[in-house]
Structure formats: structure tokens, C-alpha cells
């Protein structure tokens, strides 16, 4: 299953991507986590120390030169099939696999922002990121989870159409719901019709009825165990609330699977 995670900044996209990746790997699937947010926090949320994070792809000016400026001319459709294995780091599982399950591998690829793009103009690095993202979404047999910056602009039409679904994350606030509905609309226009809404840090109450808000809706409660953990550690895995988190991840995946089959 290939999923993208989008929504306003600070609503919980990175945390939910980390939880989902860990749940999938413990359920026996190989997972590629793709950090496509310039804030670069997916690795830390999944328990890696700063010095264990992979180099952002956009900072690899050698690769940008080699693949995009191939033999002197611009190649906007570069060969990138070897890059995921070469650039990703393996991320340990923080909890036991589910009973009787042979756990999958969890790997992290960091795309990086365009501002720190070395070698040539930012559009060259952008071409490499786009090609790599498209390759992962279209050609990989494994699960691919893309932690996006706020919107879905990164995906592009071709890539979006090959994603199985989008998880739109919102806080229980009107401004965040408005961003979520905007993301839902943009994703739909890109051809990404399988959408779920996750209202994170939910404390009760009904959700507003906004046009384009995904119809399939879930909530994730406010997690005191996570608040306490974040005081000393960026890792969001292996919390006192893990059983509850796992149950939510399973519900979200089942719902998206149903839509994919429909
Ligand atoms: N359900 C929750 N309960 C409590 N704190 C949460 C919850 N979800 C996320 N957080 C905290 O909120 C902050 C932002 O979450 P993050 O996943 O980084 O958001 P985003 O990727 O959307 O910017 C983090 O400090 C995270 O630990
Ligand atoms: Mg984030």
C-alpha cells in the first residue's frame, strides 16, 4: 500500500506516519518511509538519533549532477532505480512484531528541501526528487509512506494517481479543518480519490461539515504519554498508549484497503 500524509503544519502528520510505518512492519510488510517535509523530522520521530539520519537527497549535488546533467544535457527522466537502496537507512522496530509474524524491514529516505540544494539550480534537485518519488510510488513492491509538507503539490499528477490513498490529518480546530478540506480538494483534482481524515488530539465534539473534507473520518485522542515523552525524546514509538494507536492504524489501513478494492 502506498500512502501520502498531508495537512497543516504541526497537526501530527509525522507522528502518524511513524506509527503507521511501525504498525505495517510489525504486521510483516516492508516499508519505505519517505520524508518529503523540509522539517526533516520523520527519522527522529521513528527513533533515530541526529547522526543516524541519512543525507537528504537534495543535498547530494554529486547525484544531481550525475543523473540530471547526464553527459552534458538535461535529463528530466533520470534513472533512479538504484538510489533507494543506496540512500536509505534501516530503522529499527521499537516494539515486538505481532505474534506469529515475520516482521518487515523499515527504511527511511530523506528528500530534503530545495533551499539547500547544492550544484546547479533548485529545479535540478527538484527534478531528481520528483523522479525518485515517482519511482518509489510506481515501481516499489513494498509499502511506501510519504510524509508531505502541508499540501500535496510535491506529488504531481502522475505520482498522485499511483498512490493508493491519502491520509489528511487535522487538529480539532476550524483553521486546520479548512486546510484539510483544501488538501482534500487538491488531492481529488490530482486524481487521488481515496481519502481519509484523521482528527488528531481529539478531545470530543462533532467535526464541521466542510466541502471536500474526506468522508471517511477517524480520530486519534490526545496522548498524555506522548506529551511526557516529547519533553526528553523525539521518538513517538513505544508509548504507554501503543495498543490504542495500533488499533487506530489498523482501522485506517482497512478503510483505505476497502476503498482501493472498490
Ligand atoms: N495525539 C497526540 N497527542 C499529543 N501530542 C501529539 C499528538 N500527535 C502529535 N503530537 C505532538 O504534536 C507535535 C507535532 O506533531 P508532528 O507529528 O510533528 O506534526 P506535523 O508533522 O504535522 O508537523 C509533536 O510534538 C507531537 O509529539
Ligand atoms: Mg512533520
Q: Which residues pair with 109 in a beta bridge?
A: 34
Ligand 1, atom 8, residue with closest C-alpha? 12
For residue 226 and ligand 1, the question of a CB distance below 6 A is answered with: yes
Which whole number is the average pLDDT over 211-230? Answer: 97
Q: For residues 201 and 36, give the distance between their C-alpha atoms in angstroms, rounded to a whole number.
A: 23
Using the mean position of ligand 2's atoms as its centre, give its distance from the Cα of residue 248 in Å. Answer: 19
For residue 227 and ligand 1, the question of a CB distance below 6 A is answered with: yes
pTM of this structure: 0.95
Q: Which atom of ligand 1 is nearest to the CA of 18?
A: 17
Q: Which of 36-40, 41-45, 53-57, 210-214 has the lowest mean pLDDT?
A: 36-40
Which whole number is the average pLDDT over 158-169? Answer: 92
Using the mean position of ligand 2's atoms as its centre, give its distance from the Cα of residue 74 in Å. Answer: 32
Q: Are 67 and 80 in contact (CB under 8 A)?
A: yes
Using the mean position of ligand 2's atoms as its centre, give its distance from the Cα of residue 257 in Å. Answer: 24
Handedness of CA 112, 115, 116, 120 (dihedral sign): positive
Using the mean position of ligand 1's atoms as its centre, give its distance from the Cα of residue 262 in Å. Answer: 32
Residue 262: pLDDT over 80: no
Ligand 1, atom 14, residue with closest C-alpha? 10
Q: Which atom of ligand 1 is nearest to the CA of 41?
A: 18
Q: What local confidence, expressed as pLDDT, does residue 153 receive?
A: 76
Using the mean position of ligand 2's atoms as its centre, give its distance from the Cα of residue 137 in Å. Answer: 20
Q: For residues 213 and 197, give the distance between their C-alpha atoms in angstroms, rounded to a whole number.
A: 7
Bigger pLDDT: 96 or 223? 223
- 20 pLDDT band, cuts 50/70/90, is very high
Using the mean position of ligand 1's atoms as its centre, give its distance from the Cα of residue 76 in Å. Answer: 36
Q: Where exactly are the structural domains of the chain?
A: 2-261
Pocket test for ligand 1, best of 5, 9, 15 (most atoms within 8 A of CB): 15
Bigger pLDDT: 69 or 14? 14
Q: Which atom of ligand 1 is nearest to the CA of 220?
A: 1
Residue 118: pLDDT over 50: no
Identify which ligand lies nearest to the alpha carbon of 228: 1
Q: Which of 79-83, 127-131, 242-246 has the lowest mean pLDDT?
A: 127-131
Q: What local confidence, expressed as pLDDT, does residue 121 receive?
A: 63
Using the mean position of ligand 1's atoms as its centre, give its distance from the Cα of residue 256 in Å. Answer: 22
Q: For residues 5 and 130, give the distance between their C-alpha atoms in angstroms, rounded to a whole number.
A: 17
For residue 10 and ligand 1, the question of a CB distance below 6 A is answered with: yes
Superfamily of domain 2-261: P-loop containing nucleotide triphosphate hydrolases (3.40.50.300)
For 166-207, give the DSSP string. Answer: EEEEE-SSHHHHHHHHHHHHHHHHTT---EEEEEEEE-SSPP
Residue 142: pLDDT over 50: yes
Residue 188: pLDDT over 90: yes
Ligand 1, atom 11, residue with closest C-alpha? 12
Q: What local confidence, expressed as pLDDT, does residue 116 receive?
A: 41
Amino acid at each position: 500500500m502506498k500512502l501520502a500524509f498531508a495537512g497543516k503544519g504541526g497537526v501530527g502528520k509525522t507522528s502518524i506516519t511513524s506509527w503507521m510505518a511501525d504498525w505495517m512492519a510489525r504486521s510483516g510488510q516492508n516499508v519505505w518511509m519517505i520524508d518529503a517535509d523540509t522539517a526533516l523530522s520523520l527519522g527522529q520521530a521513528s527513533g533515530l538519533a541526529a547522526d543516524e539520519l541519512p543525507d537528504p537527497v537534495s543535498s547530494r549535488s554529486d547525484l544531481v549532477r550525475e543523473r540530471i546533467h547526464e553527459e552534458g544535457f538535461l535529463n528530466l527522466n533520470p534513472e533512479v532505480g538504484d538510489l533507494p537502496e543506496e540512500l536509505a537507512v534501516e530503522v529499527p522496530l521499537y516494539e515486538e512484531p505481532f505474534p506469529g509474524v515475520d516482521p518487515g524491514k523499515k527504511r527511511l529516505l530523506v528528500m530534503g528541501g530545495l533551499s539547500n540544494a547544492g550544484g546547479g539550480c533548485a529545479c535540478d534537485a527538484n527534478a531528481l526528487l520528483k523522479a525518485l518519488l515517482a519511482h518509489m510510488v510506481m515501481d516499489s513492491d513494498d509499502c511506501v509512506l510519504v510524509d508531505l509538507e502541508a499540501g500535496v503539490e510535491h506529488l504531481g499528477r502522475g505520482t498522485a494517481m499511483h498512490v493508493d490513498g491519502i491520509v489528511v490529518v487535522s487538529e480539532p480546530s476550524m483553521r486546520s479543518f479548512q486546510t484539510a478540506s483544501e488538501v482534500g480538494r487538491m488531492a481529488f483534482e490530482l486524481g487521488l480519490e481515496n481519502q481519509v481524515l484523521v482528527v488528531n488530539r481529539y478531545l470530543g465534539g462533532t467535526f464541521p461539515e466542510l466541502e471536500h473534507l474526506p468522508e471517511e473520518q477517524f480520530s486519534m485522542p490526545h496522548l498524555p504519554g506522548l506529551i511526557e515523552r516529547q519533553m526528553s525524546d523525539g521518538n513517538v514509538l513505544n508509548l504507554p498508549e501503543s495498543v490504542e494507536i495500533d488499533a487506530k492504524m489498523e482501522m485506517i489501513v482497512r478503510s483505505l484497503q476497502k476503498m482501493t478494492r472498490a
